[in-house]
A and B are shown apart, each in its own frame.
Chain A
Amino acid sequence: MQQTMGKALNVRGATKTYRTQSGEVHALKDVDLTVRQGEFIAVVGPSGCGKTTLLWSIAGLHRLTSGAIALGEEWITGPHPSIGMMFQEANLLPWRTVRKNIDLPFEIRGHRPEEARIQTLLQRVGLDGFGDKMPRELSGGMQQRASIVRALASDPSVLLMDEPFGALDAFTRDEMNKLVEEIWLEARKTVILITHSIAEAVFLADKVYIMSARPGRIARVVDIPFPRPRSLDLMETREFFDLVNRIKHDIQHQPAALPAMARSGATS
């Protein structure tokens, strides 16, 4: 074990079962996951593999059927102030200005917005002077920038990202990935990224967790060896391409190899 685990995020035996009319659906089954403080991990897998359920459970938005989640010494049983979340398609409230959207978490917690921090973040993501704009006046990429600021404004130690860039075009997406890496290198948050894009996962993460569906479980963990900071040119390299293809192959051919790998992979 590492000497300084800091506030690691631990998921142990996470199981989530939904009851539907056609029977029980195992969205998650015995998922174990450890994310060290400051580590950036990505979770990929086919649709319906339960990756969003996993993330929402960590955010305290879903109750697990069994298993437990802890941040450092603390059990996560509901939304936690040290855990920030970015949603699909920015999820800005369309009736609030950018600035009012960023203030929302503070409003809800009854705190004053951290003015200096918000200004720095707005500048950092290139939204300086856009505070009074309404979300619909911004492009998809700009909306996601605002959503990054909202998630980071209260300085959480963990950032959860739920397929945040899925709706963006390829160029904007690359741009956002670069920005996310830069910000992560500066702030060293613990990050869990859920994505459909294997390239995005490989580009951003230290480790990529591959999930399989029905029941949703961790099938494999792949360490990403590329040094940081990573430039977008990395995506053009042979090594990058090969790694992405290997992961893609793993996702497509996983069922048979599942049980053994799940165990060894998740605890490595």
Chain B
Amino acid sequence: MSETSQAGARIMGATGIASGLGDQGARETAAIVAVALLVIGGAELLLRLFQVPQYILPAPSAIAGVFVSHEIPTILQHYAYTLVELLAGYAIGASIGLALAAVITQFPFVEKVITPYILLLVTTPMLALVPLLILNFGFGFTPRIIAVALASGPMVMINAATGFRRVDTMKIALARSCGASTLQIFTKIRIPMAMPMVIVGLMIGAIFGMITAVGAEMSGGGFGLGSRLTTYSSTLRMPEFFACIVILAVTGITIYAFFFWLGKRLAGWES
């Protein structure tokens, strides 16, 4: 038991769920803010000092300016498309991934047969399939949602499966000694045991989903934040380009923070 939980804790630690973003004291918060100001201020200063042209690297102030410019409604509109693709694709991918992980880990033989294909899906960059998907499904939302589902699902699955594979004979015996059915053992023992890894999988899946959504948008279709990135970079509108990057970074951090919070709530017992 302690071995598996340590392994779980290590994985959580490695992906950063157990570190960073914790409860910091006031002094730590102050230090974090100070460093952030120093980095942003330093960048601003250096870029101005050496008169770096905006098309090479815009100053933080220029990027911030975009957020109060006329361009921002357009950017947000495209951001909304990206979010729709991400949420739809992720909902499909993550639920299939979770269900598959929960079921196949109960049947070791089935798992052995299926795992190579899941690994294939995990290692294949789904972005490579986007042109093919566009060919089949046109330039609308469909190919992007499929790409997001294909990118996030296997990630969720492979991590969740690791969680569901954790067996603690003593805990299962405990439930059985009380007369638990297979379903009760699943809901009361296996799912809680798998939870830390399930959450790690959901987080990695969401982040992969976002990357894939933006990448798919860059392959064509003319809408979504990814297509904005292509447009702005080809027209050398670097402040707008970086404003989009900032939005994506904030989205990624939000995803991370959400799953960190979820992990603390649902799997806090392990850290």
Chain A residues 212 to 240 lying within 8 A of chain B, measured CB to CB, are: none
Chain A residues with CB below 8 A from B269, complex form: 94-95, 134, 136
Query: Given contacts A60-B177, A108-B175, A136-B269, is CB(A88)–CB(B170) below 8 Å?
Result: yes
Chain A residues with CB below 8 A from B188, complex form: 93, 104, 107-108
Q: Is A126's CB within 8 Å of the partner chain B?
A: no
Q: How near does chain B come to A180, taking the closest CB pair, in angstroms?
A: 19
B171 touches A93 (CB 8 A): yes
A-B contact pairs, 26 of them (CB 8 A): A56-B173, A60-B177, A61-B173, A78-B179, A79-B176, A79-B177, A79-B179, A81-B179, A85-B174, A85-B177, A87-B170, A87-B173, A91-B174, A93-B171, A93-B174, A93-B188, A93-B189, A93-B192, A94-B269, A95-B195, A95-B269, A104-B175, A104-B178, A108-B184, A108-B188, A136-B269
Q: Is B167's CB within 8 Å of the partner chain A?
A: no
Q: Is A13's CB within 8 Å of the partner chain B?
A: no
Q: How near does chain B come to A55, taking the closest CB pair, in angstroms?
A: 11
Q: Is B111's CB within 8 Å of the partner chain A?
A: no
A94 touches B5 (CB 8 A): yes
Q: Is A109's CB within 8 Å of the partner chain B?
A: yes
B178 touches A105 (CB 8 A): yes
Q: How near does chain B come to A149, taking the closest CB pair, in angstroms?
A: 14
> Could you mark each residue 239-271 of chain B with 1 if its beta carbon is under 8 Å from any beta carbon of chain A, else 0?
000000000000000000000000000010110
Chain A residues with CB below 8 A from B38, complex form: none
**For chains A and B in complex, what number of residue pairs have CB atoms within 8 angstroms?**
52
Q: Is B180's CB within 8 Å of the partner chain A?
A: yes
The 8 Å CB contact of A59, one of B175, B177, B195, B267, is: B177
Chain A residues 91 to 119 lying within 8 A of chain B, measured CB to CB, are: 91, 93-95, 104-105, 107-109
Chain B residues 174 to 220 lying within 8 A of chain A, measured CB to CB, are: 174-180, 184, 188-189, 192, 195
Chain B residues with CB below 8 A from A89, complex form: 170
Q: For chain A, what secondary structure do more than half of its interface residues adopt (helix, strand, loop), or is it mixed?
A: loop
Chain A residues 189 to 218 lying within 8 A of chain B, measured CB to CB, are: none
Residue of A whose beta carbon sits closest to that of B270: A94
Could you tell me which B residues sit within 8 Å of A by CB distance? 5, 170-171, 173-180, 184, 188-189, 192, 195, 267, 269-270
B192 touches A61 (CB 8 A): no
Chain B residues with CB below 8 A from A56, complex form: 173
Bound-complex Cα distance A266 to B251 (A): 71
A108 touches B173 (CB 8 A): no
Q: How near does chain B come to A235, taking the closest CB pair, in angstroms?
A: 29
Chain A residues with CB below 8 A from B173, complex form: 56, 61, 87
Query: Given contacts A104-B188, A108-B184, A136-B269, is CB(A91)–CB(B170) below 8 Å?
Result: yes
Given contacts A79-B179, A95-B269, A104-B175, 8 further A-B contacts (CB under 8 A): A81-B179, A87-B170, A91-B170, A93-B174, A93-B192, A95-B267, A104-B174, A109-B178
Residue of A whose beta carbon sits closest to that of B266: A95
Q: How near does chain B come to A98, taking the closest CB pair, in angstroms?
A: 13
Chain B residues with CB below 8 A from A83, complex form: 177
> Could you mark each residue 48-61 of chain A with 1 if its beta carbon is under 8 Å from any beta carbon of chain B, else 0?
00000000100111
Q: How near does chain A come to B146, taking the closest CB pair, in angstroms?
A: 36
Bound-complex Cα distance A85 to B175 (A): 11
Q: Which of B174, B177, B180, B195 has the most CB of A within 10 A?
A: B177
Residue of B whose beta carbon sits closest to that of A101: B174
A109 touches B179 (CB 8 A): yes
The 5 closest A-B pairs by CB, nearest first: A105-B178, A95-B269, A108-B178, A85-B177, A79-B179
Chain A residues with CB below 8 A from B171, complex form: 91, 93
Q: Which of A59, A105, A134 has the most CB of B within 10 A?
A: A105
Q: How near does chain A come to B18, taking the closest CB pair, in angstroms?
A: 15
Residue of B whose beta carbon sits closest to that of A78: B179
Bound-complex Cα distance A106 to B178 (A): 8
Bound-complex Cα distance A164 to B31 (A): 49
A61 touches B176 (CB 8 A): yes
Residue of B whose beta carbon sits closest to that of A81: B179
Residue of A whose beta carbon sits closest to that of B180: A108
Chain B residues with CB below 8 A from A81, complex form: 179
Chain A residues with CB below 8 A from B174, complex form: 85, 87, 91, 93, 104
Chain A residues 132 to 166 lying within 8 A of chain B, measured CB to CB, are: 134, 136
Bound-complex Cα distance A134 to B189 (A): 16
Q: Which of A105, A108, A109 has the most CB of B within 10 A?
A: A108
Q: How near does chain A come to B214, taking the closest CB pair, in angstroms?
A: 36
> Could you mark each residue 67-97 of chain A with 1 if its beta carbon is under 8 Å from any beta carbon of chain B, else 0?
0000000000011010101011101011100
B195 touches A79 (CB 8 A): no
Bound-complex Cα distance A261 to B150 (A): 68
Q: Which of B173, B174, B176, B267 has the most CB of A within 10 A?
A: B174
